[in-house]
Amino acid sequence: MLVTSKEMLERAKAGGYALVAPDYYDNNSCRAFVQVAEELNQPLVLSFAAETHDSMLSLEEAALIGRYYAETSKVDIALHLDHGTKFDTIKKAIAYGFTSVMIDASSCDFEENVRRTKEVVEYAHARGVVVEAEIGHVGSGETYSTSQDDSIYTEVEDAKRFVELTGVDSLAISIGTAHGHYKGTPVINFERLHEIRDALDIPLVLHGGSSSGDENLRRCATEGISKINVFTDFVVAAFEAAKNGNPKDWFELLHMSDEGIKNVLRHYYRVFNCVE
Ligand code: 13P
């Protein structure tokens, strides 16, 4: 069933687990994610990053495919636009039927981030769509440094003021993860996570889940994060499964890569404390 992410995020927050938010990039990955959610009888934040990832799909194609699998599914599926930086992309996503959108103005200064987020919140809420924003910028793993200076972490007071000023539904924060694979080992600032969790009422989101370490992610999921975004681990697993499986033809190769993706998603449902 196609739903917004509002209630499922609230349930995750109250239940001490995190939803998995995988980014799909073609029909197969979209179907594989929904099949695993059904197999485990769990909700899913089915995400599509129209502007950032090397996708095989246009936004309109992604919406048609995502809606088809969500609407015909037995479990709750939110169709989420990941990392929308342009208002135009967000408006199109809403028109095509996404039930949840992210406005990512995290590389702007505080005032501009507030202005852009507020504009999207007003537009989306008027159409029954929920909004995620980001404060404190989650950068790239390639430029990650283990000797992070404190400025990369989201400030508690900024997060509080940001939520009050924008009315956003969920908030992505920077506590030490990065997008893609890491140069070095990720260092998560759990103390900052606890401070932000205690200061805010809305669900918190973590970007850059891939290769952040199961122990770290488990702690994030049980200590205040309600949704974790994952992308790189899926495409790596799809490629590895196909490469190592010695497929005899193209269809077997596709089948193997689907299985690779599914195993990663099953794994993260367990790590994020959604299932035993
Ligand atoms: P990873 O590619 O590091 O898993 O990050 C995904 C992400 O945060 C998408 O929003």
pLDDT at residue number 106: 94
Determine, yes or no, domain membership for 276. Answer: no
Among residues of the chain, what percentage have pLDDT more than 90?
87
For residue 164, the domain's CATH number is 3.20.20.70
Pocket test for ligand 1, best of 104, 231, 271 (most atoms within 8 A of CB): 231
Determine, yes or no, domain membership for 18. Answer: yes
pLDDT at residue number 146: 61
Residue 46 host element (H or E): strand 44-48
Determine, yes or no, domain membership for 260. Answer: no
Determine, yes or no, domain membership for 161. Answer: yes
For the whole prediction, is pTM greater than 0.85? yes
pLDDT at residue number 56: 87
Query: Of the given ranges (145-154, 167-176, 243-252), which has the lowest mean pLDDT?
Result: 145-154
Determine, yes or no, domain membership for 199. Answer: yes
Residue 24 predicted with pLDDT over 80:
yes
Q: What residue spans of the chain are helical by DSSP H?
A: 6-15, 27-40, 59-71, 87-96, 110-125, 156-166, 190-199, 214-222, 232-244, 250-271
Determine, yes or no, domain membership for 204. Answer: yes
Q: What is the count of structural domains for the chain?
A: 1
Contact between residue 67 and residue 2 where contact means Cβ atoms under 8 Å apart: yes
pLDDT at residue number 53: 64
Kindly indicate the confidence band of residue 265, based on its pLDDT and cuts at 50, 70 and 90: very high
Kindly indicate the confidence band of residue 141, based on its pLDDT and cuts at 50, 70 and 90: confident
Residue 147 predicted with pLDDT over 60:
no
CA atoms of 155 and 135, how far apart (whole Å)? 9
What is the DSSP-derived secondary structure letter of residue 179? B
Look up 82 and say whether it is catalytic: yes
Candidate list 23, 82, 104, 258, residue with the active-site label: 82
Residue 273 predicted with pLDDT over 70:
yes
Ligand 1 interacting residues, C-beta cut-off 6 A: 23, 82-83, 179-180, 207-210, 229-233
Region 106-128 average pLDDT: 97
Region 183-212 average pLDDT: 94
User: Which phi and psi (to 5°) does residue 246 adopt?
Assistant: 50, 60
Residue 20 predicted with pLDDT over 80:
yes
Determine, yes or no, domain membership for 273. Answer: no
Region 256-261 average pLDDT: 98
Domain that holds residue 112: 2-231
CA of 141 to the centre of ligand 1 (A): 10
Residue 145 predicted with pLDDT over 80:
no
Kindly indicate the confidence band of residue 52, based on its pLDDT and cuts at 50, 70 and 90: confident
Determine, yes or no, domain membership for 174. Answer: yes
Pocket test for ligand 1, best of 229, 261, 267, 272 (most atoms within 8 A of CB): 229
Cβ-Cβ contacts under 8 Å for 140 (sequence gap 6 or more): 178, 179, 180
Rounded to whole angstroms, the maximal C-alpha distance in the chain is: 57
